[in-house]
Structure 1
Amino acid sequence: MSLAGSPHSAGQAGGFHRITFTGKASEYFGIWIVNVLLTIITLGIYSAWAKVRRNRYFYGNTVLLGRSFEYHAKGLQILIGRLIVLGAFIALNVIATLVPVLVLLPTIVVLIALPWLVAKGLRFSARVTSYRNVRFDFVGGAGGAFKAFILGSLLAVITLGILTPLASRWVARYVGSNLRYGGKAFDTDPGLGPLYKAWLLSAAIIVAGLLVVGAVVAVNFDTIAAMMDPAAGQGTFSVWHLVILFAYVGIFVLFGVAGLFYRAAVRNITWSATTFDGQHRLLSDVSLTRYAWIAISNVVVTLLTFGLMRPWAAVRMARYTWEHTGITFTGDVGELFSKIEEQGSAVGSEFMDFEGFDFGF
């Protein structure tokens, strides 16, 4: 679905303009159910085409200044890319099985190839996305991907999450600052201060929740210990079994809420620290609590309906996040996009249609 621009869109003045999302759950349900059934029938082969249909619907209903984005990938492109990666992985494991001394070969090759695959995937996803008939591009290399995704994740893990904001900054700068549109560059440079404020909020939520659980366990330690003793009351059920069960569920939800708060905050910080062509500034102002509520309630409703409400959940989240995203244009918008569209055809002719390494963008 593609929305044509309004007659006056070319002459729109600068200033702040929000993105809107026009998709409907009832429309997307028809696409989604066909995708699911055909993916099952074809033993997963159709999933490449399913992704294309899904993205075309969501991109085509994401609208800025009266014009929608477009997704140009083809199912065969994505399928070929997936088969290449799958075939290489199978071959490596066969070699490792036949030659035991090479047992670590698959892991080593994956670690070496992963940054390259990530960079290729980001480039593919950018190049099959367009706005006003002008495609995006991504110019990041494997070295930057290694730092942002491999080294950053490793540092976050070994420091028990303390360096997570640094890793988030590396990812944001790598993705945002290597993005191009019509030959013009984006630039993203979120500050560590705001990222650490977001991280501290999430950490505080986790610590507070664990303290409450710990206090409940400490106060009732003797009762819980007796219940857990296999020699006493074996096979009996008490309210404390429910307490322990809810404690486990509560901890799981706690980490989920903290993660969602951090994710929403990072989105706000990263988008709001991004400029296009050095002067047009992006903005994200999603509410942390509202974002977490939508994400959690989406999961609950989807589970309770055995997946049938998944289209509603996807549309609901897309509408909320995109409608809390915008850009402040400097100067005349029509003149800006006229210049970009003039350059766009030359840039677009250089895009390769065969690359199909799609790992998300």
Structure 2
Amino acid sequence: MVVAEATSFQAAPTRDVSIDFHRFSFMGSGKEYFGIWIVNVFLTIVTLGIYSAWAKVRRNRYFYGNTVLLGRAFEYHARGGQILVGRLIVLGGLVILNVIATTVPILALLPTIAVIVAVPWLVVRGLRFNARVTSYRNVRFDFVGSVGGAFKAFILGGLLTLISLGLLAPIASRWIGRYVGSNLRLGGKSFHTDPPLLPLYRGMCIGAAFGVIVGIVMAAIIIGTVRVTALYEAVSPDYVTVHWVLAGAMYAVVLSVYGVATLFYRAAVRNAVWSASRFDEKHRFRSNLSRGRYTWIAISNLVVTVLSLGFLRPWAAVRMAHYTWEHTGVLIAGSVGTLVSDIEEQGSAVGAEFIEFEGFDFGF
């Protein structure tokens, strides 16, 4: 892998420790992934969805195996059976809860309460599973977060976002970033994440402003189109068509505004969280996604996927992976060789226990 100093990421000067910037890279191609994707789709349909668990494994192994840092790719070790069992457990639990709620009306709220209580536990299990089936340089990741932390980050954070109509979304994003990032481990060494609120709020405000601009432009185009249509309808007995067209168009505008604002904000969150993350208290991550470019790629990906009836979905997924990883990197303090040796030494001491204890993937 080519190692170069970043032009957009500048390390703070230091007298005692050399700091080098190393980018991630994604080596996959749309043509390669299409072969995997089309087989996954076909077998998932033929097996009425059962094969989707194995499809997820094949997809993740391809994307992890093509994500490279310092010349080595990541690996994904999950098995389809683990994912299928986890899904069946969740599905079975939901079916039982709904049957009870249906047969005993007084317990109608039981499924909702059970989900709220169970989600934090399922989130922890899911994050731990996904960490432990992922490795880098033959060293497994781990996740040590608590159920209480998951409840705060995902349940309380979601409620804050909901009741504030999105105004407190940056706080929820900060909680989630802290919880996930600061509870990751690799070879016995820890990660730490503490994103500041200012970049998150800035990203939300810029996203909302840009979304409103897009909405105004779309509304102007739609109103002009509807007015032309109305002139035609003025000599026709059918006036209902115009009203339905207008209602549908306004709904599309609202969705567009929300979608654009969300994509802008998602890019801002990724930049803020990754750039506030450290490994072993020394090595710092960086992300410099362009919010406008990220939004354009996501929207154009959706358009070409829809127009191609889904057949360009592999190309779109690979395109996004190339962009996000090429704008992500790590500032390594000291010798790369020393860092790699430390990781592999720690991994040999603590990684063996994960091989037989990965659990199940519950889809959270």
TM-score clears 0.5: yes
**C-alpha separation between the residues in 2 aligned to 1:32 and 1:211?**
38
**C-alpha separation between the residues in 2 aligned to 1:104 and 1:238?**
41
2:27 to 19, 22, 31: 22
**Percent identical residues:** 62
CA contact (8 A) 1:125 1:358 kept: no
Q: Displacement, 1:99? A: 1.9
Any unmatched runs of 5+ in structure 2?
A: 3-17
Matched residue, 1:10: none
**C-alpha separation between the residues in 2 aligned to 1:48 and 1:217?**
43
CA contact (8 A) 2:21 2:332 kept: yes
1:71 to 76, 86, 94: 76
**C-alpha separation between the residues in 2 aligned to 1:212 and 1:312?**
29
Q: How does 1:1-361 map to 2 (within 5 A)?
A: 15-209=20-214, 234-236=237-239, 245-351=248-354, 352-359=356-363
CA 1:86–1:205 in 2, change beyond 3 Å: closer, same or farther?
Answer: same
SS in 1 for 2:142: strand
Any unmatched runs of 5+ in structure 1?
A: 7-12
Letter in 1 for 2:326: E
Aligned residues between the structures? 347
Letter in 1 for 2:200: L
CA contact (8 A) 1:22 1:63 kept: yes
CA contact (8 A) 2:132 2:358 kept: no
CA offsets, 1:233-270, max 9 Å, x none? 64248888766654433332222111111100110111
Letter in 2 for 1:63: V
Q: Which segments of structure 1 move beyond 3 Å, counting only runs of 4 or more?
A: 206-221, 230-234, 236-248
CA 1:20–1:214 in 2, change beyond 3 Å: closer, same or farther?
Answer: closer
SS in 1 for 2:190: strand
SS in 1 for 2:353: coil
CA 1:341–1:354 in 2, change beyond 3 Å: closer, same or farther?
Answer: closer
Q: Displacement, 1:200? A: 1.2
**C-alpha separation between the residues in 2 aligned to 1:81 and 1:142?**
18
SS in 2 for 1:161: coil
CA contact (8 A) 2:157 2:171 kept: yes
Q: Displacement, 1:91? A: 1.2
Q: Displacement, 1:205? A: 2.6
**C-alpha separation between the residues in 1 aligned to 2:341 and 2:19?**
14
**C-alpha separation between the residues in 2 aligned to 1:123 and 1:285?**
28
CA contact (8 A) 1:32 1:54 kept: yes
CA contact (8 A) 2:129 2:358 kept: no
TM-score by length of 2: 0.88
CA contact (8 A) 1:67 1:131 kept: yes
TM-score by length of 1: 0.88
